[in-house]
Structure 1
Amino acid sequence: MSLQQVFARYYEDYLFNENRENPKHQKSNIKQIPMTKFRIRNS
């Protein structure tokens, strides 16, 4: 399993847990995660 696959799985689990606990904060939580840094580092 590649690092990107591991990160994708963790990212999905993180969003699922956050949405289940705080559905009102779904959009703000997504904005807080620095996806651009991850993509640049592994491109």
Structure 2
Amino acid sequence: MSYIFESALSLAELAIIQSSGALPSPPGVYVSVVLKESRNEGQ
């Protein structure tokens, strides 16, 4: 299971997401956090 963030996260936000258990997940399921780089298209 993956949580995908398309906007930039600060280091503090990423730390909270990874260590607090704020994002729900079913027991026994591996969860990853994916940070997508946004590209400025048309420039």
> Normalising by the residue count of structure 1, what TM-score does the alignment of the two structures yield?
0.34
Give the strand-richer structure, 1 or 2. Answer: 2
Q: Which protein is bigger by CA-based radius of gyration?
A: 2
| Structure with a larger share of its residues in helix | 1
